[in-house]
Amino acid sequence: MESVVPVDLEHWPRKELFDFFSGMSNPFYMVTFRQDVTEVYQYAKRMGVSFYYTLVWLCTEAINDVDAFHYAVLDGTLVRLPRREPSFTDRKPGADQFHIVTMDCGDGGPAAFCREAARKSAAQQTFLDQSSETENLIYFSCLPWVDLTGFVNERDLSTPESRQDSIPRLTWGKYVEAAGRKTLGLSVEVNHAFVDGLHIGQFAAALERRIRQLPERDVRL
């Protein structure tokens, strides 16, 4: 298994941008774009799994397809993470409060991830397992009650270290249908010290590719 790799900041091609944005009191920005999720919906229905969990899996894999999302600062050292894994909000049926589930994607594909996510979420008895909260995560949330046009996450910016937070935050709203296609607003919040608009564009392209690669058939377990 790959490990965290230290990066020589002085010779990192992004050093000038990293230094510039790291000096800001708030280096974070958000972009929201429309995403066609028709095939995601069809896959989830066909497999009898959660649309939400399927999209979490797809976005996680697409984030990992883009090199810029792998960088972080750990204990004052710039590193390249081998992979990011999802940490997502969820809600038990009938509950008013949500909880946060953190788990890796595994290597069984989207349907296997959905089944394990459902099992783990149903079994979880706490709001959040702090021991699972590391820098290699992607934070996911969903507002399925509204057509999302933008979303900014809460942050504690009281310390200088908080401005080095590299965890991407992805949120989407409900899908809406027009001309037989389903689309939703997908919000991506990142730290400009690590990620530019170009890289968000690369993520969007990777997500489209991952959606096209969803299997026509899968094994039900």
Average pLDDT rounded to a whole number, residues 8-21: 97
Residue written as tokens 């969990």?
53
Which has the minimum average pLDDT: 16-20, 132-136, 171-175, 202-206? 132-136
Global pTM?
Answer: 0.95
Dihedral angle sign, alpha carbons of residues 191, 192, 194, 198: positive
pLDDT at 160: 86
d(Cα 141, Cα 55) in Å, to the nearest integer? Answer: 11
Amino acid present at 26: N
Given this model, what pLDDT does residue 217 score?
61
Query: What average pLDDT score do residues 193-211 get?
Result: 98
CATH numbers and ranges of domains, the chain: 5-212 (3.30.559.10)
- The burial of 88, by beta-carbon neighbours within 10 Å (0-12 exposed, 13-18 middle, 19 or more buried), is given as buried
Read off the pLDDT of each residue in 100-106 and give the average, rounded to a whole number: 96
For residues 62 and 204, give the distance between their C-alpha atoms in angstroms, rounded to a whole number.
8
